[in-house]
Amino acid sequence: MENTMDIERKTILIVDDEKPIVDILVYNLQKEGYNTLEANDGLSAVEIATSQKPDLILLDIMLPKMDGLAVCKKIRNTMNVPILMLTAKDEEIDKILGLELGADDYVTKPFSVRELMARIKANLRKAEMANEKQKEDDDKATTNKIVVGDLSLDLDKFEVRVKNQVIDLTLREFEVLKYLASQPGQVITRELLLEKVWGYEYYGDIRTVDVTIRRIRGKIEFDTSNPKILITKRGVGYYIAGGN
């Protein structure tokens, strides 16, 4: 996987209206071997993302013309590119909203360049692994599925169904659900989910897991106040209820 990333240079779209921050990001990303694209407002960000199809987007929340949350929602409607949001320290609500709108991760300003690079690598690696898995599965004639009760995951098509109704999940949400559904009835801690699905330990924020779980539950449960599929084990973690 690492070799694939080395051979094929990844392109990262930086969306921020503060030139000093853009300059720092461009310098450090290019030093790490990435190609970079830049957008200084929300409208440009959507246009560039749609036309250039970057491998990852660094997206500031406070932007002219269209804010980062609206940009995230618009891009997520048509693309499954990893989105890493940049938020100010006191914008807790924005972090949660960003994740609910489909962002994969967030980093708080002022950020450590080392931490940001680790997050970027983790998110790119996860997307790369998912793409490779999809290519491998496309070459197989057999269908790879996980079925637990009313929940069905088609690993070849990255498709989720509940009672045979297709549910629209982001790649990250699909990966979380797949990890839980592959071990029905087994309680998985938030820390383990963060490590296995997001691909990092030290830099992770547990809140990311909680928000993603809440977002999945809002899509697959009939009544989120009384979930029947994705269950919380208070103080421990989450599990998929075993099928009858």
CB 241 within 8 A of CB 232: no
In the block, residue with structure tokens 């592959």:
182
Full set of structural domains in the chain with CATH: 2-134 (3.40.50.2300), 141-240 (1.10.10.10)
State the Cα–Cα distance between residues 42 and 44, nearest whole angstrom. Answer: 5
Q: In sequence order, what are the residues at sequence separation of 6 or more whose Cβ sits closer than 8 angstroms to the Cβ of residue 235?
A: none
pLDDT of amino acid 33: 92
Within the chain, residue ranges assigned H as helices are 2-7, 19-31, 42-52, 68-78, 92-100, 113-138, 171-181, 190-193, 206-220
Instruction: Report the chain (244 residues): mean pLDDT per 10 consecutive residues.
Output: 54 94 94 94 95 94 89 87 82 70 83 89 84 64 77 89 90 92 92 85 74 93 90 91 65
pLDDT of amino acid 138: 58
